[in-house]
């Protein structure tokens, strides 16, 4: 059993920082390697919505993982804020998932059929919706109301996880990993732009860029970029009292810093046409996304005609062929673990990914924790031509 394993984590997004945080908490010697800066990939651009209501999670392992992830946050946020002095802008509030047309109502009620077994929720009619938020459009047909949603600032979360890991001894080095160094079927280190570093275990958490290691591993790591954009608006009037979303029109969240976040593009888009399956590395804000997002937002809350655009963010989410994350040891290799493919839910699933992988590594990489069994990279080994377009259509926001 490895008592003090030497672990290299590649990529300091929310996944890599979560892994480093939980590993150092358990006493591992960790080096976190990042080619740019903490959170500079998708993680700095995310909404930070922590909701169990979307279509992303399905009954069984996916929902169990999401639920465990959700429960992780209150304690984690408290610990991180204490340890780093940062305010993660964490809020727990009721949410409304709105139906503005018949199709949205059918989607929401279809999901409720199994979700209400796990999460307290109820369908409310348009009159009740308007009592909660009278500024919403009168096109609202009804909504599902639930009280367990939350949201935080995803960049601050990522930074806090990284800083807390560093405080416990993790070495953060800003340099790209250019290759893995292997001996037979074992990993023995990584090559970076500034030299080689030895390790027992490497955890690849490089988001959409994890594919760079496919050739060395002889396995096409099945992730592709699903570009997403969102807007930060300032608008006159009181903050929204609840977190708002709808299947076709995305989210609308009053953040604790006073900004209104609206978005996101990618996944099942408003017009159901364009999936924004992006380039390898694309965080360029586009005019088409800006126009679409503003239109969606005004459709839901007409008062946003007067809103001021403060910031437009864009990032590339790592999408897997079945939209579920890819977490666990690589078949045929000793000491190589993948942690990517979290798609539209990486912030929500980041900490639980870190905690469960840390447990696995600290127990000597013998038994994959039950929560992770369904997410093994091995499920794609036979798949030669993954359909990312179809996966993008299933992803929500």
Ligand X SMILES: Cc1cc2nc3c(=O)[nH]c(=O)nc-3n(C[C@H](O)[C@H](O)[C@H](O)COP(=O)(O)OP(=O)(O)OC[C@H]3O[C@@H](n4cnc5c(N)ncnc54)[C@H](O)[C@@H]3O)c2cc1C
Which of these ranges, 58-66, 112-120, 314-322, 376-384, lies near ligand X under the rule CB under 6 A? 314-322
Complex with ligand X: residue 106 or 194, whichever CB lies closer: 194
Which of these ranges, 83-91, 141-149, 327-335, 339-347, lies near ligand X under the rule CB under 6 A? 339-347
Please, what is the angle between helix 154-167 and helix 61-84, to 10°? 70
Neighbours of 356 (CB within 10 A): 24
**Residue in the block written with tokens 């080095």:** 173
Candidates 7, 15, 152, 336: give the one binding ligand X (CB under 6 A): 15
Per-residue contact track with ligand X, 32 to 51, x per CB under 6 A? -xxxx---xxxx-xxxxx--
Candidates 189, 318, 329, 354: give the one binding ligand X (CB under 6 A): 318
Contact 242, 96 (CB under 8 A): yes
Q: List binders of ligand X among 157-176 (CB under 6 A).
A: 176
Which of these ranges, 180-188, 302-310, 341-349, 366-374, lies near ligand X under the rule CB under 6 A? 341-349
Candidates 22, 209, 360, 380: give the one binding ligand X (CB under 6 A): 209
Our finding on whether 344 is near ligand X (CB under 6 A) is: yes
Candidates 199, 275, 300, 347: give the one binding ligand X (CB under 6 A): 347
Complex with ligand X: residue 209 or 360, whichever CB lies closer: 209
Complex with ligand X: residue 11 or 222, whichever CB lies closer: 11
CB of 26 to ligand X, least distance (A): 20
CB of 125 to ligand X, least distance (A): 27
Cα dihedral sign for 318, 321, 324, 329? Answer: negative
Which of these ranges, 92-100, 194-202, 315-323, 355-363, lies near ligand X under the rule CB under 6 A? 315-323
Give, rounded to a whole angstrom, the gap between the first and last alpha carbons of the chain: 41
- How far from 264 is each of 181, 226, 248, CA to CA, in Å? 39, 11, 10
Paired tokens of 306: 């007067």
**H runs (alpha helix) in 224-339:** 287-300
CB of 218 to ligand X, least distance (A): 18
Nearest-Å Rg of the Cα atoms of the chain is: 21
Candidates 9, 10, 76, 243: give the one binding ligand X (CB under 6 A): 10
Distance, in Å, from the CA atom of 348 to the CA atom of 338, rounded to the nearest integer, reads: 18
**Phi and psi at residue 72, in whole multiples of 5°?**
-70, -30
- How far from 84 is each of 173, 287, 373, CA to CA, in Å? 19, 37, 33
Which of these ranges, 4-12, 107-115, 133-141, 385-393, lies near ligand X under the rule CB under 6 A? 4-12
Nearest to 146 by CA among 265, 244, 274: 244
CB of 13 to ligand X, least distance (A): 2
Per-residue contact track with ligand X, 47 to 86, x per CB under 6 A? xxx-------------------------------------
CB of 344 to ligand X, least distance (A): 5
Our finding on whether 354 is near ligand X (CB under 6 A) is: no
- How far from 288 is each of 162, 230, 291, 293, 393, CA to CA, in Å? 34, 12, 5, 9, 19
Q: List binders of ligand X among 135-154 (CB under 6 A).
A: none
| Helix/strand/coil for 259 | coil
Candidates 7, 12, 88, 140: give the one binding ligand X (CB under 6 A): 12
- Most distant pair of Cα atoms in the chain: their distance: 66
Paired tokens of 16: 């890599």
Distance, in Å, from the CA atom of 11 to the CA atom of 370, rounded to the nearest integer, reads: 25
Return residues touching ligand X (CB under 6 A): 10-16, 33-36, 40-43, 45-49, 176-177, 205-207, 209, 212, 228-230, 263-264, 315, 317-318, 340, 342-348
């Amino acid at each position: 059993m490895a008592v003090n394993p030497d672990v290299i984590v590649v990529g300091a997004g929310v996944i890599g920082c979560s892994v480093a945080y939980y590993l150092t908490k358990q006493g591992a010697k960790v080096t976190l390697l990042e080619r740019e800066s903490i959170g500079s990939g998708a993680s700095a651009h995310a909404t930070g919505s922590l909701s169990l209501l979307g279509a992303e999670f399905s009954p069984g392992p996916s929902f169990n993982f999401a639920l465990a992830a959700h429960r992780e946050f209150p304690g984690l946020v408290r610990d991180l804020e204490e340890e780093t002095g940062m305010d993660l802008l964490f809020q727990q509030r009721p949410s409304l998932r709105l139906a503005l047309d018949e199709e949205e109502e059918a989607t929401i009620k279809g999901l409720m059929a199994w979700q209400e077994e796990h999460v307290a929720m109820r369908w409310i009619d348009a009159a009740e919706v308007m009592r909660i938020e009278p500024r919403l459009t009168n096109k609202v047909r009804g909504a599902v109301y639930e009280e367990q949603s939350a949201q935080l600032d995803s960049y601050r979360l990522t930074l806090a996880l990284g800083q807390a890991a560093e405080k416990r001894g993790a070495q953060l080095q800003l340099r790209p990993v250019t290759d893995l160094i292997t001996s037979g079927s074992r990993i023995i280190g990584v090559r970076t732009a500034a030299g080689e570093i030895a390790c027992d275990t490497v955890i690849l958490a490089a988001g959409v860029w994890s594919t760079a290691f496919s050739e060395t591993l002889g396995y096409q790591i099945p992730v592709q970029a699903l570009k997403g954009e969102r807007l930060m608006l300032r608008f006159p009037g009181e903050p929204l009292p609840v977190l708002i979303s709808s299947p076709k029109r995305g989210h609308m969240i009053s953040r604790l810093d006073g900004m209104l976040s609206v978005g996101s593009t990618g996944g099942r888009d408003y017009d159901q046409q364009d999936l924004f399956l992006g380039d390898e590395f694309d965080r360029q804000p586009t005019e088409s996304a800006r126009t679409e997002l503003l239109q969606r937002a005004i459709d839901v809350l007409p008062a946003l005609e007067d809103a001021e655009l403060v910031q437009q963010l864009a990032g590339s989410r790592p999408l897997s062929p079945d939209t579920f994350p890819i977490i666990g040891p690589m078949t045929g290799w000793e000491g190589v673990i993948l942690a990517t493919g979290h798609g539209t839910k990486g912030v929500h699933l980041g900490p639980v990914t870190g905690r469960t992988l840390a447990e696995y590594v600290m127990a000597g990489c013998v038994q994959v924790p039950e929560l992770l069994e369904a997410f093994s990279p091995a499920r794609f080994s036979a798949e030669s031509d993954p359909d990312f377009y179809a996966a993008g259509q299933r992803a929500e926001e």
